[in-house]
Structure 1
Amino acid sequence: MSGPNLSGLYHMVSQENMDAYLAALDINFALRKVVCMLKPSKQIEHDPGTGHMRIKTMTTFKNFDMDFHLGQEFTEDLGPVDGRKCQTTVDWQADKLVCVQRGEKEGRGWTHWLEGNILHLEMRVQDVVARQIYKKAE
C-alpha cells in the first residue's frame, strides 16, 4: 500500500505543546527555548515506485536529514535532536505516514498526513504529543 505522494517544500505555520515534548526527551531548558522559536521548513522527496523517501528538516539553527525506505527498519541517529540512536520504521497506515522509533524512550515516533496543501506532523514520546502544521510552498 502506498499513500499519497508527499513530495514538496513545506513551511511551518504553527505548533503546539513543543516545550513539553522536548522536556519529555530530556532536552535542557535553554535548548528547548531556542527550538520552540524556530520556524522549520521541510523538503520531502518521495519516490512511490521504490518506496524511498528523504525528509529534510531545515532551520536557521540546525538541519536534520532522514533518508529511508518505507517498511524497512533502520538505525536512526538522533544526535542532532537529543543525542540518542533508535531503531526506526516508517510506513503507511491508510493515508498517514507513521514512524515508530524504538529506543530509550517509550512510545516515541511521529505521524505525517496531508489535507490539501497542509502537512500535519504529530510527534509523540511517552504520553506527550506535540503538533506542527506546515503549508506547501507554491
Structure 2
Amino acid sequence: MPFDMNGYWKMVSNDNFEDYMKALDVNVAIRKIANLLKPYKDIVQDGDHIIIKTLTTFKNYNMDFYVGKEFEEDLKGVDDRKCMTTINWDDDKLVCVQKGEVEGRGWTHWMEGNELHLELRAGGAVCKQVFMKP
C-alpha cells in the first residue's frame, strides 16, 4: 500500500469535468447540476480492501473493491452503464481501468503532500480533481 487514503476529503479543484461528462454522454441537465457540486470523499482503506464513497447533495456513489480483483461495476447514478473494473497499485498510484462502452475509461488516485489527486479519463477527455482534508 504505497499511500494512505483513509479519511474524509473535500474537493478543492475540478478541472475539465464538463468534457469528461460529455465523453460519458451524460445529459446536459445532469452536467449542469454536477458542475455545481463540490463532492466529499469518505475513504476507508484496509489493506487491499478499499471503500470510496463520493458524497454530494445531489447523488452519492459508493465503490467497494479489492485491489487486483476484477469486478462488475454498476455506474447507476453516474452514467447508468456497467463495466468490468480492475484497480491496481502502480508504484505510488492507484490506477483503475473500466472496460465497457466508453474507450479509455478509468481513473488514477495519488498523493502530493496533503492533497489527494484524482484524474478521471474517458473517451480522450481528462478531468483533474484535487481533494484535501477539511
Which of the five TM-score ranges fits, normalised by the shorter chain?
Answer: over 0.9
Per-residue deviation, 1:28? 0.9
Per-residue deviation, 1:13? 0.6
* Runs ≥4 residues deviating over 6 A: none
Q: What per-residue deviation string (whole Å, max 9, x for no partner) do you get for residues 90-115 of structure 1?
A: 11101101000000001000000111
| Equivalent residue number for residue 74 of structure 1 | 71
| Equivalent residue number for residue 135 of structure 1 | 132
Does 1:102 pair with 2:91? no
Q: What per-residue deviation string (whole Å, max 9, x for no partner) do you get for residues 48-106 of structure 1?
A: 2xx10000000000000000000000000001100100000111101101000000001
| Equivalent residue number for residue 82 of structure 2 | 85
Alignment of 1:6-25 (within 5 A): 6-25=5-24
Distance 1:113 1:9 in 2: 15
Q: What per-residue deviation string (whole Å, max 9, x for no partner) do you get for residues 16-62 of structure 1?
A: 100011011001111101000000000110012xx100000000000
| Equivalent residue number for residue 124 of structure 1 | 121
Alignment of 1:54-65 (within 5 A): 54-65=51-62
- 3-state DSSP class of the match of 2:21? helix
Query: What is the count of residue pairs matched by the alignment?
Result: 134
- One-letter amino acid of the counterpart of residue 106, structure 2: G
| Equivalent residue number for residue 37 of structure 1 | 36
Cα RMSD after superposing both structures? 0.7
Per-residue deviation, 1:6? 1.0
- One-letter amino acid of the counterpart of residue 128, structure 1: A
Distance 2:13 2:3 in 1: 23
Gaps of 5+ in 2: none
- One-letter amino acid of the counterpart of residue 103, structure 1: G
Residue identity (%)? 54
| Equivalent residue number for residue 28 of structure 1 | 27
Distance 1:70 1:18 in 2: 26
TM-score, length-normalised on structure 1? 0.95
Gaps of 5+ in 1: none
Per-residue deviation, 1:5? 1.6
- 3-state DSSP class of the match of 1:72? coil
